Amino acid sequence: MDLRFCVDGTGKRLDVFLSEQTQELTRSRLKKLIESGNVLVNGSPATKAGADVKVGDEITVFLPEATTYSAQAENIPIEIVYQDSDFAVVNKPQGMTVHVGNGNENGTLVNALLYALDSLSGIGGVLRPGIVHRIDKDTTGLLVVAKNDKAHVSLASQIEKKDCKRTYYALLEGELKSEQGRVETDIGRHPTDRLKMAVLADGKGKRAITDYRVVARFGQEFTLCRFDLQTGRTHQIRVHAKHLGHPVVGDPVYGYKKQKCKVDGQLLHAQRLELTHPSTGQRMAFNAPLPTTFQEILQKLCKKYAIDERAFSTLTAPSNSAEV
């Protein structure tokens, strides 16, 4: 399948022009198509997404056919909070990698989805069918999975345009002084440890914005915090928590070497997801309770600091979905 356009105006980037023409393709998707040689300008492969277009330019976009999945279906129990013919919302457990790759060939969420669902979108390729966005292996909670390409494009666009709202809860080390605030930095690969991300000088990484609000304080030991993502960079909340001087409890990469609370994996949970249905246009919200380990630690801290557990009832309620 290919799309053809003729430029009738100037002063626009190639990816901006195409995103306005196609509407269903996000700029990130178009960038990948350009980088892979699937966009021609006047018969020659485009080299840069940011190249300017001029009047009379003829542009062709080739859309590769979806490739057969190479990941294998596996009967792995997963909690599906919601699903219809367009998408599914899954409550990912701790310790599960989202997709095949980097030595993870089995036991991933993709392996489980291929078994549990009747279809997945093919835009993500053979290793990431249906995957619109990711959460870290040891982070728990909600993510949306596309079941067809049209839904995938819509959901990816919502995330890119910040129309998809994602809310996380984390237990942080120490006492966070501010009640609420915004962390806005550039994030990129750590200059000496390529397995880690880090806050970099302006212009050295990608812009990352995280809003936070204190939910409860447990003396000077811990702070329960809500995080609302405005962007979706790799390890964003974990890096920003460290930047605040209060890393996520249990974080094996960015946390303290000597931790007051012994847990297997960080206490970071994607609790709420809000999006617009790709077909109906209805606004929908999904919630998932804090995992058992997280709840048990909060119960102990509430007892120690004489805090009413009912203050967190919305975070421990069963998974549910509703129209907003």
Annotation: CATH topology of 2-62 = 3.10.290
pTM metric for this prediction:
0.78
pLDDT tens digit sequence for 96-113: 988 876 566 788 999 999
Confirm if 123 and 97 have CB atoms less than 8 A apart.
no
Q: Which position has the higher pLDDT, 151 or 67?
A: 151
Which of 162, 289, 155, 136 is CA-nearest to residue 229?
A: 162
What are the residue boundaries of the structural domains of the chain, listed by start?
A: 2-62, 79-160, 165-323
Confirm if 199 and 227 have CB atoms less than 8 A apart.
no
Confirm if 202 and 186 have CB atoms less than 8 A apart.
yes
Extract the tokens encoding 26: 């996000």
pLDDT tens digit sequence for 182-238: 999 999 988 888 789 999 988 888 999 999 999 999 999 999 999 999 998 999 999
Same fold flag, 79-160 and 165-323 = yes
- Confidence label for 287 from pLDDT (cuts 50, 70 and 90): very high
- Domain 79-160, CATH class in plain words: alpha beta
Which of 160, 163, 106 is CA-nearest to residue 132?
A: 160
Which class for 137: exposed (0-12), middle (13-18), buried (19 or more C-beta within 10 A)? middle
Average pLDDT of the residues in 59-75: 74
Does pLDDT of 28 surpass 80?
no
CA distance 253 to 238: 9
Catalytic residues: 136
- Domain 165-323, CATH class in plain words: alpha beta
> What is the DSSP code string of 236-301?
HHHHHHHHTT-PBTT-TTTS-SS-SS--SS--EEEEEEEEE-TTT--EEEEE-PPPHHHHHHHHHH
Give me the chain's average pLDDT, please. Answer: 89
Helix (H, G, I), strand (E, B) or coil at 184: strand
Q: Which position has the higher pLDDT, 95 or 2?
A: 95
